[in-house]
Amino acid sequence: ETGVTQTPRHLVMGMTNKKSLKCEQHLGHNAMYWYKQSAKKPLELMFVYSLEERVENNSVPSRFSPECPNSSHLFLHLHTLQPEDSALYLCASSQLGPSGETQYFGPGTRLLVL
Amino acid sequence: GENVEQHPSTLSVQEGDSAVIKCTYSDSASNYFPWYKQELGKRPQLIIDIRSNVGEKKDQRIAVTLNKTAKHFSLHITETQPEDSAVYFCAAEADSWGKLQFGAGTQVVVTP
């Protein structure tokens, strides 16, 4: 349960605010991911970082800005969000190998944009 | 890219009965298929996974089957218990970089 941690767990922000979500993994993994989970929708992959380099950006609006300073930490910087951005934001990590590998999720940050 | 469809979206079963969730995928190159369980207010957690060189895998009351030819895989839960109530997500390896494409989820409710 403590392999991947996220802070804050809950966040309420106005549309003009700037905030950051933090994720930390203690599993020695080399890849980290940001997902958005909205009600009644599949998990949506937002960003993928491998060895601290962004390798995927799934057409995410520029109001979401990721940062990966090292292999253990991942941030999601938020600014001028919209109410439809309210969701659960999940971080995950994995150890990339020759084939697919298990992703381990953090507890998520429940975001409400007013 | 990979597309994963999951059925049913909700499943209500009596305690002790079996539950089956089915998923189909589109990319024949996918080789890894995990299943996650997400209880209310909690993170998704891996419960079982299967790779393409195996047709079936079992872990106590849960089992997963894979049919690569038909591109579908299924989760089977036997002797269901109230604590099995949760949302279950299937996923398939998508492209590279460990990416997973998730199904939309199945809400399982086990009634005593």
User: Would you state the pLDDT for residue B19?
Assistant: 98
Under DSSP, is residue B28 helix (H, G, I), strand (E, B) or coil? coil
CA separation for the pair B55, A9 (Å, rounded)? 39
List pLDDT tens digits, range B32-53.
Answer: 999 999 999 899 999 999 998 8
Q: Which residue on chain A is closest to B1 by alpha carbon?
A: A58
Residues of A in contact with B34 (CB under 8 A): 100, 102-103
Could you tell me if B13 and B80 are in contact, meaning their C-beta atoms sit under 8 angstroms apart? yes
Nearest-by-Cβ selection for B43 from A33, A41, A105: A105
Residue recorded with tokens 């996918």: B30
Q: What is the mean pLDDT of chain B?
A: 94
Nearest-by-Cβ selection for B32 from A48, A55, A99: A99
Distance from CA of A18 to the nearest CA of B (A): 25
CB spacing of B43 vs A90 below 8 angstroms = yes
Mean of the pLDDT values across residues B51-69? 94
List pLDDT tens digits, range A21-55.
Answer: 999 999 999 999 999 999 878 899 999 998 777 77
